[in-house]
Amino acid sequence: MPAPYCYRCYYGLNYPSCELHCAEMIRKKLIEHRDRICGVILEPLVQGAAGMIVHPRGFLKIVRDATKETDTLLIADEVATGFGRTGRMFAVEHEDVRPDIMALAKGITGGYLPLAVTLTTEDIYSQFLGKYEEFKTFFHGHSYTANPLGCAAGISTLNIFEKDSILSHVQKISLRLSQRLNEIKDHPGVGDIRQKGLMVGIELVRDSKTKEPFDPSFKIGQRVIKKTKEKGVILRPLGDVIVLMPPLTTGEDEIDMLCDATFSSIEEVIKEV
Ligand SMILES: *Cc1c(COP(=O)(O)O)cnc(C)c1O
């Protein structure tokens, strides 16, 4: 199903007058094929590598209700959004949604060691319980399952979340970041700025009025990050989208440094091309 990418809506509609047609289409599809569909997998609220696509408010809730209605599973990939990135511990909390299965990694160790976890409901878990001869057991393991060093890094990270009130810090610093982002929203080369907590995508376009993209051969994103690097800020673009994903412990001064370097680089590069 098409992503709820409001800036370039697949259905050519506008939020909120669209009344979340994209989510309704998923609901329709689920009802139509409920006997063949096992579940819906999505990245809740923000699709990271797809271009920092921030979903419109209410989308997730409709999809959750539709999966319940059709007895299909909701599988949330919170590898990128989980552990405070969006201002809540998990992105699904923004819409009071509880998925059936949730995939987590990255932020669980603050990025210090690789660790991932799959959570599920008691209901699903219990489907794998039974006598040995029933072969219900989920015979699956990893070489490094429950790696003690990885788990220790995870526990330390969770302790820091509590001890240093990381979530409230993220909420505070995200506000600072959105204030700063306002400074470039009217720039003719800036098409869309998408933010949820400390996840930001700045979509650059040739013409913000028509939303016409840059010629891919310009490698506009690459050019911008080359310039920010000269200013001491290492970023990564996703095509023409400049990604800002600072550490959750980032301070105000660092937000300013990040924004100063990014905005001036965008302005300089757009002037050049
Ligand atoms: C990084 C990422 C993954 C990959 O996770 P691994 O633990 O490296 O397999 C999956 N989904 C999302 C949304 C990600 O950002």
CATH topology of domain 166-272: Aspartate Aminotransferase, domain 1 (3.90.1150)
**Does 48 sit in the ligand 1 pocket, CB within 6 Å?**
yes
Helices (H), the chain: 21-32, 59-69, 122-126, 148-163, 166-181, 220-230, 252-272
80 Cα nearest atom in ligand 1: 15
The values of phi and psi at residue 57, to 5°, are -60, 130
* Distance of CA 105 from the midpoint of ligand 1 (Å): 7
**Does 116 sit in the ligand 1 pocket, CB within 6 Å?**
yes
78 Cα nearest atom in ligand 1: 13
Instruction: Supply the pLDDT for residue 107.
Output: 95
Strand pairing category for 190-196 and 236-238? unpaired
- Where are the domains positioned within the chain? 6-163, 166-272
- CA-CA distances (angstroms) from residue 134 to 123, 125, 130, 137, 138? 18, 15, 6, 8, 11
Prior bond to 114 cis, omega within 30? no
Ligand 1: which of 75, 104, 106 to mutate, judged by most atoms within 8 Å of the beta carbon? 106
- pLDDT digit string (tens) for the chain, length 273 residues: 999 999 999 999 999 999 999 999 999 999 999 999 999 999 999 999 999 999 999 999 999 999 999 999 999 999 999 999 999 999 999 999 999 999 999 999 998 999 999 999 999 999 999 999 999 998 888 888 999 999 999 999 999 999 999 999 999 999 999 999 999 999 999 999 999 999 999 999 999 999 999 999 999 999 999 999 999 999 999 999 999 999 999 999 999 999 999 999 999 999 998
Instruction: Supply the pLDDT for residue 273.
Output: 86
146-154's contacts with Cβ under 8 Å and 24+ in sequence apart are: 147/113, 147/115, 149/113, 150/109, 150/113, 150/114, 150/115, 151/115, 153/109, 153/110, 153/112, 153/113, 153/115, 154/108, 154/109, 154/113, 154/115
**Does 154 sit in the ligand 1 pocket, CB within 6 Å?**
no
Instruction: Supply the pLDDT for residue 12.
Output: 98
Q: Which residues on adjacent β-strands are paired with residue 103?
A: 77, 118
Instruction: Supply the pLDDT for residue 141.
Output: 83
Common-topology check for domains 6-163 and 166-272: no
Instruction: Supply the pLDDT for residue 154.
Output: 97
Instruction: Supply the pLDDT for residue 140.
Output: 83
- Write down the CATH number for the domain with range 6-163: 3.40.640.10
d(CA 263, CA 181): 9
Instruction: Supply the pLDDT for residue 163.
Output: 98
Helix axes 252-272, 220-230, angle to 10 degrees: 130
Q: Tokens at residue 93, please?
A: 């909390």
